[in-house]
Amino acid sequence: MLKANHHAEPLGRREQNKIDTRHAIADAAFELARSVGPGAFTVDQIVERAGVSRRTFFNYFPSAEDALTVRMDLFIDLALGVFEQLPANEPLFGAIIRAFTETTRMEGLSQHGELFRMAGADPDLLRAQLHSWERAEARIGEALRARLGTAASELYLTALVGCVMSSTRAALRDWAVHTPPSASDSGKQLEARILAALTMLRDGFADPGALIAPDPPDIPARS
């Protein structure tokens, strides 16, 4: 269910077992959340499915909800990998947007959307996700620092990253409200919204009326 790592480094049994356990727990939690709803299951149910002891669960995650944020962490892993490969002379916002679209091409967004919707029904899951976004922000900030060098101020950098993440989240909200879970082009709808939001940000929120076009807007180069 969860993606394995792609760098074929020689992993020892120890490392590999830990990764497997982690994913087993995450998968069990996700399936449970799907079937009975977020916040409607206990840690004991998770560990039964995952085949580990209760105590082991808490060696990996501080709470049941945290097991549901593994997917986002992995998504960020991938996206950062893509981002670092992009040519350094590419415009900043363009690189960010491309890193995102390339990653969605690998991973898809449906499960992320699903989890986002769940968070609307369970405050604890929402908090875990917000925390996850926060961690992602920090990691992306480092990647941007590596690209921009010391010319960009700390404030500029963190504000920029924060806005990118905020815009993405706004797109998720809009998508969750306006696209029914059953929609066939659900993923495309979401991607289009994220692109629209990032484009607005890049252009300084100049056009309040910017709406979602039926097909993904093309992005005229800038910044």
Q: State the binding partner of 3 from DNA, a copy of itself, none, CB within 5 to 8 A by kind.
A: none
| Local structure of 212: helix, strand or coil | coil
Q: Tokens 């806005």 sit at which residue?
A: 163
CA 85 to each of CA 72, 81, 156, 158: distance values in angstroms, whole numbers, following the listed order: 20, 7, 23, 21
**In angstroms, rounded to a whole number, what is the distance separating the alpha carbons of residues 24 and 176?**
28
Q: How many CA atoms lie within 13 A of 163 on its CB side?
A: 17
The yes or no reply on residue 223 touching DNA (CB under 7 A) is: no
Segment near DNA (CB under 7 A); pick from 1-9, 29-37, 42-50, 139-147: 42-50
The token pair at 195 is 């692109």
The yes or no reply on residue 5 touching DNA (CB under 7 A) is: no
Q: State the binding partner of 140 from DNA, a copy of itself, none, CB within 5 to 8 A by kind.
A: none
Evaluated on CA atoms 81, 87, 90, 94, the torsion sign reads negative
The yes or no reply on residue 62 touching DNA (CB under 7 A) is: yes
172, 195 contact by CB (below 8 A): no
The residue (of 39 and 108) whose beta carbon lies closer to DNA is 39
Q: Where does this chain bind a copy of itself (CB under 8 A)?
A: 62, 123, 126-128, 130-131, 134, 148, 151-163, 165-167, 169-171, 173-174, 177-178, 193, 196-197, 200-212, 223
Of the candidate residues 2, 21, 170, 188, the single one contacting DNA (CB under 7 A): 21
Q: Which residues bind DNA (CB under 7 A)?
A: 12-15, 17-18, 21, 42-44, 52-56, 58-59, 62-64
